[in-house]
Chains A and B, each alone.
Chain A
Amino acid sequence: MSSCYQGKLLRVNLTNGTISTESLNQEYAREYIGGRGLGTKMYCEEVGPNVAPLDPANNMYYLTGPLTGTGSPSSGRFMVITRGPLTNTIASSNSGGEFGAEMKFAGYDGFVIEGKSEKPVYLWIDNDKVEIKDASHIWGKEVPDTTDLLRTETSERAKISCIGPAGENLCKFACILNEMNRAAGRSGVGAVMGSKNLKAIAVKGNKPVYVANRDRFATAITEATKALKDNPVTGAGLKAYGTQILINILDQSNGLPVRNFRDSGTIEWADKTSGEYMIEHKNLVRNKGCFSCVIGCGRVTRTFKPYAGFGEGPEYEAGWGFGADCGISDIDAICQANFRCNELGIDAISMPTTIACAMELYESGYMPKEDAGCDLSFGNAAILKELVEKTAYREGIGNLLAEGSYRLAEHYGHAELSMSVKKQEMPAYEPRTLQGIGLEYATSNRGGCHVRGYMTSPEILGIPMKLDPAVTEGKAAVCKIFQDLTSAVDAAGFCLFTTFALDADIIAKVLSAGTGFEYTGEELMKCGERIWNLERVFNNACGFTGADDTLPPRILNEPQKNGAYKGSVNRLHEMLPEYYQLRGWNPSGVPTAEKMQDLNLKQL
């Protein structure tokens, strides 16, 4: 039977140089779909909870979703699944761009990378021909140079996934850049790649991607495309303004964290850092989309003196991070720092939030001036670029910044100033304003993260329903549904932004017609729930407990000082017990035997 899976995985062992292929396990594919789900399942089976993130035995799984590389709209994604050095949890980082589709065209659903090479290498995958090649001459190079050089060396048509100096230097939040500007961004997957001495993967292919039922698939993707085009967010807003448009609405809603979450959720100059301002100020050159995307939210941007540069982004979370979170109002400095993150291979959320933490440590007198090596006060735009570079090369204070905010703050005896969950920094939504996002952050399986549910959608944007951000009632149920849905969407290869317009039923139709496995919307949600629970079971086996499902003390205990939510803290205790109950977990956050059986899961 034809299907949109290629049915084949590539396995490369960098320790002994062996290269092999194997068939996709169809049973796993049915239950875990692909991408994040299948990768986590394979990781749990093959590696398990007893391998440290930077140990050569920590495998990396580059996995596409079944829809990746098909004509399905906005579904060209792939994921990198491994155990992450920032959090020590399972780390699944999602990326757009063109790389995922090219993996499929080369004939693979995924690559499994094992072991560690003695010297720097890269993989060159040209359809069935796979080589491990010397990368000594590109080790140390930044992402744009690496990408260009490898295209010259392999093929102009090759798609390149690589790390920058940050990954080589094992920065704990190094990312992997795909086609220069699309990142598998969070949790330090780039450091895992660096620890293997693997600089890059170049891939090219010309194989077809079939679907199980062409007519049904065509009908389903027509319906999905129409829904995406008719929706105000996916049909117009994201294309016109990109995600940086969120700055003003979060600011006006008093949900914009300011200066390491120290100040309340609004700042008078927010508009100067907004998506609207970037158009007015001529930062925006044009918009850009990933493979098969009908939304096209990406931004090609430029900046002006004294912060001149050219690149892509920032996404809202990075723009907020270098902006309001660092107390910086200069959009050119913000964009330039984001460009440097992409060029050096650093997560553009954990970088600025770690700098914001350093700024508070410095202003509070906990970090000595000699350590800082510069004026680390909030608002000092001139130091951003240098701090990003120092982090990538682990120079001076950068050596501590490269450990992430938690280890940095702990070093100075004030771990409470790290605005992180499970040691990963929380992004751009104030949990004392948005109660539900607090629950989402606390329970995310990879630490502080906004794409493990996206409660901002109902709490601020009113999609698909309008929930009052200030109330806790009912949030646990919605959070669980969003977490399960986004797990399935990640696994399928769809971009998460499609969920503004597509519900589980439409996604299930596309997936069924493509894969030949029949899913109802309900079954799709169950797959998502299975993925979520497997991640949880893995984290629990690594030693995480319910006590880790928490938020920084500031968010739980320090009331907001002014604004619409003056006096509020996050009331996690009102949501968490209900959330555990709805999940079928015991009061310590452990899935019950019945829940495990229901989802066909086993203890690790």
Chain B
Amino acid sequence: MEIKYFAYIRDYTGEKRTSWNESVDDLADLLRQLSKKYGNKFRDAVFDEEQTDLNSEIIILVNGRHVQHLNGIHTKLAANDLVAIFPVVAGG
């Protein structure tokens, strides 16, 4: 699975992208695994306060589709998926 990070999320991960080969069930599972790797700042950026849902200030795309229009934090993931993580900062 390929994961890409954008804007200030890169400050928390220290990298622009990573290949993730661990077994992953759904998006929540992936974000928990990634939070272990990157630490609290990353965790707090992607999860809400209760850590049960996505932070309202995050945009996550799976294969180009906003997870809101898939199954939210419970979106199932497969080995060759592309996940992109953005903070809500953009405007134009």
- A residues touching B (Cβ–Cβ < 8 Å)? 232-234, 236-238, 240-241, 243-246, 248-249, 252-254, 266, 271, 275-276, 297, 315-317, 428, 450, 456-457, 460-463, 466, 468-470, 497, 500, 563-565
Which residues of B are found within 8 Å of A317, using beta-carbon distances? 92
Which chain B residue lies CB-closest to A235?
Answer: B89
Are the CB atoms of A461 and B69 closer together than 8 Å? no
CA distance A271 to B17 in the complex (A): 12
Per CB-CB distance, the 4 closest pairs between chain A and chain B, nearest first, are A237-B89, A564-B64, A243-B92, A316-B92
Which residues of B are found within 8 Å of A315, using beta-carbon distances? 92
- B residues touching A (Cβ–Cβ < 8 Å)? 4, 6-8, 10, 16, 57, 59, 61, 63-66, 68-69, 84, 86-92
Which chain A residue lies CB-closest to B17?
Answer: A271
* B2 nearest CB across to chain A (Å): 11
* A580 nearest CB across to chain B (Å): 27
Are the CB atoms of A232 and B57 closer together than 8 Å? yes
Partner of B91, one of A234, A252, A563, A564: A234
Which residues of B are found within 8 Å of A461, using beta-carbon distances? 59, 88, 90-91
Most chain B beta-carbon contacts within 10 A, residue among A244, A248, A249, A460: A249
A-B contacts, 7 of them at CB < 8 A, read: A237-B7, A238-B91, A240-B89, A246-B90, A248-B86, A252-B64, A266-B64
Main secondary structure of the interface of A (DSSP, over half): helix
CA distance A461 to B86 in the complex (A): 10
* B82 nearest CB across to chain A (Å): 8
Which residues of B are found within 8 Å of A232, using beta-carbon distances? 57, 87-89
CA distance A485 to B65 in the complex (A): 28
Partner of B88, one of A237, A240, A276, A468: A237
* B49 nearest CB across to chain A (Å): 16
CB-based A-B contact count at 8 angstroms? 92
CA distance A102 to B57 in the complex (A): 37
Query: Beyond A244-B92, A500-B91: 18 further Cβ-contacts under 8 Å?
Result: A233-B89, A237-B7, A240-B8, A240-B89, A241-B7, A245-B7, A245-B92, A246-B92, A248-B86, A252-B86, A253-B66, A266-B64, A271-B16, A297-B91, A428-B92, A462-B59, A462-B88, A468-B69
Which chain B residue lies CB-closest to A451?
Answer: B92
* B55 nearest CB across to chain A (Å): 10
Partner of A456, one of B63, B86, B92: B92
CA distance A241 to B10 in the complex (A): 13
Which residues of A are found within 8 Å of B7, using beta-carbon distances? 237, 240-241, 245, 248, 275-276
Are the CB atoms of A237 and B90 closer together than 8 Å? yes
Which residues of B are found within 8 Å of A563, using beta-carbon distances? 64
Are the CB atoms of B91 and A243 closer together than 8 Å? yes
Most chain B beta-carbon contacts within 10 A, residue among A240, A243, A461, A500: A461
CA distance A564 to B86 in the complex (A): 18
Which residues of B are found within 8 Å of A243, using beta-carbon distances? 90-92
Are the CB atoms of A252 and B61 closer together than 8 Å? yes
Are the CB atoms of B64 and A245 closer together than 8 Å? no
Which residues of A are found within 8 Å of B16, using beta-carbon distances? 271
Which residues of A are found within 8 Å of B65, using beta-carbon distances? 564
* A412 nearest CB across to chain B (Å): 32
* B81 nearest CB across to chain A (Å): 12
Which residues of A are found within 8 Å of B6, using beta-carbon distances? 248-249, 252, 276
Which residues of A are found within 8 Å of B92, using beta-carbon distances? 243-246, 315-317, 428, 450, 456
* A478 nearest CB across to chain B (Å): 15
Are the CB atoms of A466 and B68 closer together than 8 Å? yes
Are the CB atoms of A237 and B66 closer together than 8 Å? no
Most chain B beta-carbon contacts within 10 A, residue among A244, A457, A460: A460
Which chain A residue lies CB-closest to B16?
Answer: A271
CA distance A404 to B88 in the complex (A): 35
Known: A252-B61, A462-B68, A468-B69. Is A233-B90 also a contact (CB below 8 A)?
yes
Partner of A249, one of B8, B10, B69, B90: B90
Which chain A residue lies CB-closest to B86?
Answer: A249
CA distance A461 to B60 in the complex (A): 10
Are the CB atoms of A241 and B90 closer together than 8 Å? yes
Which residues of A are found within 8 Å of B86, using beta-carbon distances? 248-249, 252
Which residues of B are found within 8 Å of A470, using beta-carbon distances? 69
Most chain A beta-carbon contacts within 10 A, residue among B59, B63, B66, B68: B66
Which residues of B are found within 8 Å of A275, using beta-carbon distances? 7
Which chain A residue lies CB-closest to B88?
Answer: A232
CA distance A519 to B87 in the complex (A): 35
Most chain A beta-carbon contacts within 10 A, residue among B7, B8, B68, B90: B90
Which residues of A are found within 8 Å of B91, using beta-carbon distances? 233-234, 237-238, 243, 246, 297, 457, 461, 497, 500
* A438 nearest CB across to chain B (Å): 18
